[in-house]
Structure 1
Amino acid sequence: MLKILASWKKLLSLQGLARALRRRGVYLLLLALVFGGSYYLVTNDAVFKKHAVETFTPGGQVALPGEAPAPKEIPAGSTTVPPELQGQMGVHAAPATTAEGDQSRDLPDLALPVTGKLTKGYGFSYAPAFGDYRFHSGVDIEAPAGSEVRAAAAGVVRQVEHSDAWRYRLTVDLDNGYQLVYAHLNSIKVAKGDKIQAGAVLGEVGEPGTAEAGTPPHLHLELLKNGSALDPVSALQ
């Protein structure tokens, strides 16, 4: 009798162990399926496909990553964004400008204020500091930092400013409502109210301010007529 009971006890123990192993096997199988599926989803590009970032420009073109967008240029003379460009990326309102046909013929004769090359002209162009296209209301003349900046024409210093955006910025009144603006100067040798002659030293070229960061040292020169921007190139000798 004892032998029979011992045999049954042994049999029951084996069956319990088998059931336990079967239950644990099911759990292990489920865990394997979960981990396997997760690995498949994470490593499969077809499931998690990384799409390239696209920038849509006003012309309907697509700018690839790393390329500068090329929005439609706002016509000279506009002070607001045209209706067809409203809300488009990279479009900014232009300052008041004088349309080319309305420019007077009494432009002042301007001497080159610093020895260097013109690297950026008047009009819409790419602005590295902002990563988009903006209206450039003057010209940039590249020159080494420390180069002397001389008065392009005689006049009176109307305003002297200093900011992170433009460093030292001078506004000089000329005749007939014209003004010259010199920006990105590292130092100046004139003060507000000074009467200056053409060729007088105004200061020195410095590193560009934040408004034109990402560009080499240069002088930013603007020509205004009654507060409206003109292309200085047409007056430079």
Structure 2
Amino acid sequence: MIRSVMMRLGIIIVCLMVNLLGGAIAYANELPDDTQFDNMYYSLSVDDEQGQNFPQNLTDAETGEVNSIEGNAPAVSTDDFTLRLGQYIGSESGMGSEYGNYVASLIQENASLYGVDPILAASLFEQESHFRMDAVSGAGAIGIAQLMPQTAQQMGYNPYILEENIKGGIEYLSYQLRRFQQSGDLQNSFAIAAYNAGPRSIQDYGDVPPYAETRNHVTAVANNYVDIINITGGLYQ
């Protein structure tokens, strides 16, 4: 009798596992893949055969070399870039141009310090908080960069101070970019996903993890990137 019950329980468990696995595979198949991400960059003349998730315009922290996007977007001067980015930030945050210009200057300054593309950092912060310091997530993440208090403390930053929040966020983003620097054209996507879901999830899946929130987050940041390039009139150099 006991053996019969155990056998039935075993069959039920196996069936449940099969159903769950099948559902997970179906769910993952519904999520955006890298090819769909690539399609966002046709207007920037990016060769989709390169499989790029984001336009590559990163300064390598190790070599100091700049990897610029292939395309026809013109470069703009530092002053013009900061002004246009500041206007965009002021509008998106609802905080006005003075605030936007200051935030833009901080993003540019710290992106240069840590070897990060400032457009990538701005695109991330727009998705995280709409550039607002009063943004607090349900999990307790704080400010423009949505730093968790414990993470900020470990890095030596006060997340409630605007300047430290931005600096901490860009430094943390630079950690993730270096972590995935061997990932080729997927470096930016993996770094943004790691910022959202933690680096372990990317390492476990070998890809942007099949979480709807994270996939949508990466896609939104990619869209922001294109918007900011269009708004600023070109690539920061």
TM range (shorter): under 0.3
| Structure possessing the higher relative contact order (Cα contacts under 8 Å, 6 or more residues apart) | 2
* Structure that is richer in strand per residue: 1
TM-score by length of 1: 0.24
Choose between structure 1 and 2: higher helix proportion. 2
